[in-house]
Structure 1
């Protein structure tokens, strides 16, 4: 009875040896003084356990299920001379293996991760610049080509429509064919279509090219996931906040460029220069490594080990002793995850045979996995948060000039090259862009102290407070200040959600999950200019209408967050 009871828990010898049930011998001792008690320990217990509890499977894999009892005729006492060497060897093998997480923690954040931060951050700068320029190009094109407000809004909306398609598509591509291949194609599409937009002869061609730019921009989550997979688990929150700072760099850079370029050279030059950061990604693509976590997931442990050797050499550190393994009972993600990021154990939720699983899943299988019992709640939560974030953030970015126009009683075509010397509009956009810096600092200060979810809820609510006074007429300087505060809070929530999203998904569907959530966010960004353009003609009531819509969305997100948190 004792043997069978213990056998239910100790289905593999190395687990038996390391069990805390026998604290007097916590692990294999190397001292000869302890060798004799250890052998006596095995002689006694190996005589009690049935042989199928102690012997390995013929194929060498650990026993993971509950074994059936042997026939009555089978011997209950194994051959000690045959079993004991295996038991000792099992413990030696287990202690000489390590995972990607353990290797990254051992090497720490160093020069290599710093270089990867700059490379991935350049992609984030490119996306921010392409999004910010819509605030300036739309009004200028409307005035030059005589477009209606709805046609101008469509220039912005098609970019989000392209991002809606690209975010999910590039997630699947990067999960199946690698992170490097994913962001290579996105950089080609974004840079190429962005540069060709400069030569658009008419409205239709401009719409088509900007939609292609959006498809390329949808690959932004691929770069963030790729960078995240090089970061040691205990430091991910901090360095993802630093990574998000590159978005702020892009918005401030674009606003500064528009202030200089639009009055003299016009919107076509702004489009051309804004496509340069995507080209920089292509220049250095040849020296960028694949994610070692992705390589391990694909079973390419030798390639992953080669990448980790490069990381160790650049960081001037050493890899842990032993052999790199792709499957481990407990990943360090679970140990260092925030209290509200329910990470999945690879042993339980990631398939052992990744190639077979991929063939069975197909293209849409990974999307269905997002709604598995373990992921459905988190997936829905992410989609709600991404939608509310995108609607409010891009609405503030794209309509800052409109809100300023309303309060200053300027016509809506004030960004026309002939009268764009009205510096107040560029000033407002630049000032609100700088609001992202305190937003990043705020998120960095609270994200690890109070947790991801509570941080988002608090900043959502604070954003409502800043938007509330916009429901009534305000002086211009107060309007700019309120927009500054709202932009700060929305930037903080966006930063936290991009930290939270990759943490809750396993490697097999990480970029697909983040990409799908990002796609839902693009829907919010896509409908925002259309809704605003349909309800008003961009006068003083724009502030009231947009603030009202944003308040509803923010309160909705806050309420749903609290409900889902229970």
Structure 2
């Protein structure tokens, strides 16, 4: 039986919340993920992550809404009718819908960081393609695949950022991302307001000129491009590495985060070994396995709830996107 006086003197220096057990490493310095991430504290590294998230969020916003602001200036160059403009706006979301289930699976199979790098860089290519589009057909192809690809960062960013935070701060990550999306909605029209009225005529080669709307779309490439480059220098989520059984690399990442956040030597990081948290992730992810995960959503048991959620989301997004997507119609 533990002596009462000794028991009262035991102090847990890293309690996450009142409902969670003490997260101090055990005497053998072996810890699970939650304990290990709590010991890295909150500091410089977490702030860097949030700064890197800004262009990533802006990339998603710009992909879906930038053309609505460019249409009034671009419609003459591309000979776009009102129906054509509506089709281009719709094709973006068609691409997003067609990939909505794919990226969630790929993020778990290939890792958050890899998906963030690849999708941002590929998206920047399609944004550039849209900026130089000579006709409607090229524009439709660029925006469809842009919408298809941009779902990747949207799926990967939230879990990626959340897995670098302990439970004390993790719930604030989605709130911060929501704030950044709102900032993006303010920044994009300001950028359009500053650039699109300009009289720009740059002769690139015979028969092709760059105008203000081309420059505007090229600038909209920067968030995706910079995000892809930024994520090259930021490590993979340690939780993902642990789920793959790569505890050694995960521990090194924890130590580097600890060093940045506390300004202490990595050797002073109290966790010396991570518990085996390997989960069953198959490298060859088949459509059958993906359907096994998704199929319960479409069972009769959840039909009413699924319908209600879908209707709520539909009307929410309709109200959210209505004015932005119809900006070109309000142009006089």
- Please classify the TM superposition score into its range, dividing by the shorter chain length: 0.7 to 0.9
Tell me the residue number matched to 1:124.
57
The yes-or-no answer on 1:200 pairing with 2:124 is no
Tell me how far 1:367 sits from its aligned partner: 4.4
Q: Which runs of 5+ in 2 are unaligned?
A: 8-24, 201-211
Greater CA drift, 105-114 or 386-395: 386-395
Residues 238 and 25 (structure 1), Cα distance of their counterparts in 2 relative to 1, 3 Å cut: same
Check the 8 A contact 1:189/1:215 in 2, yes or no: no
Residues 63-103 of structure 1, C-alpha deviations (whole Å, 9 max, x = no match): xxxxxxxxxxxxxxxxxxxxxxxxxxxxx988642112222
Deviation sequence 1:312-369 (CA, Å, 0-9, x none)? 1111165444521143xxxxxxxxxxxxxxxxxxxxxxxx6514xx268624424432
Q: In 1, are the aligned partners of 2:133 and 2:139 still within 8 Å (CA)? A: yes
1:332-351 to structure 2, matched below 5 A, reads none
1:200, distance to aligned residue in structure 2 (A): 0.9
Aligned to 2:178: 244
Q: Which has the higher contact order (CA 8 A, sep 6+)?
A: 2
CA contact (8 A) 1:122 1:246 kept: no
**Alpha-carbon distance in structure 2 between the residues aligned to 1:95 and 1:238:** 32
When the two structures are aligned, how many residues end up with a matched partner?
293
1:190-233 Cα shifts (integer Å, max 9, x gaps) = 10110121211111111111112112211122122211111111
Unaligned segments of structure 1, at least 5 residues: 1-23, 31-91, 328-351, 406-412, 415-566
Listed as ranges, the matches of 1:423-438 within 5 Å are none
Give the RMSD, CA atoms, in angstroms.
Answer: 3.1
Q: Give TM-score, length-normalised by structure 1.
A: 0.47
2:286 aligned with 1:325: no
> CA, structure 1 residues 298+384, in 2 after alignment: closer, same or farther (shift >3 Å)?
farther
The alpha-carbon distance between structure 1 residues 123 and 164, as it changes in their structure 2 partners (threshold 3 A), is same
Measured in 2, the distance between the counterparts of 1:135 and 1:97 equals 54
Partner of 1:186: 119
Q: Please, what TM-score do these two structures have when normalized by structure 2?
A: 0.77
> Would you say the 8 A contact 1:133–1:254 is kept in 2?
yes
1:135 touches 1:399 (CA, 8 Å); kept in 2?
Answer: yes
- Counterpart Cα distance in 2 of 1:209 and 1:25: 68
Question: 1:284 and 2:230 equivalent?
Answer: yes
The 5-angstrom pairing of residues 123-162 of structure 1 reads 123-162=56-95
- Distance in 2 separating the partners of 1:386 and 1:150: 25
Shift of the alpha carbon at 1:186? 0.8
Question: Are 1:256 and 2:182 counterparts?
Answer: no
Does residue 275 of structure 1 match 2:275?
no
Question: Which deviations, in whole Å up to 9, do the C-alpha atoms of 1:464-522 show, x marking residues without a partner?
Answer: xxxxxxxxxxxxxxxxxxxxxxxxxxxxxxxxxxxxxxxxxxxxxxxxxxxxxxxxxxx
Superposition map of 1:454-493 within 5 A: none
Residue aligning to 2:208: none
Tell me how far 1:144 sits from its aligned partner: 4.3
Q: Paired residue for 1:307, among 232, 253, 258?
A: 253
Equivalent in the alignment of 1:365: 289
In structure 2, do the counterparts of structure 1 residues 324 and 123 end up closer, same or farther at CA, with 3 Å as the change threshold?
same
Q: Which moved more, 1:305-314 or 1:247-256?
A: 247-256
Per residue, is there more helix in 1 or in 2? 1
Q: Write the mapping of 1:82-93 to structure 2, written as runs, cut at 5 A.
A: none
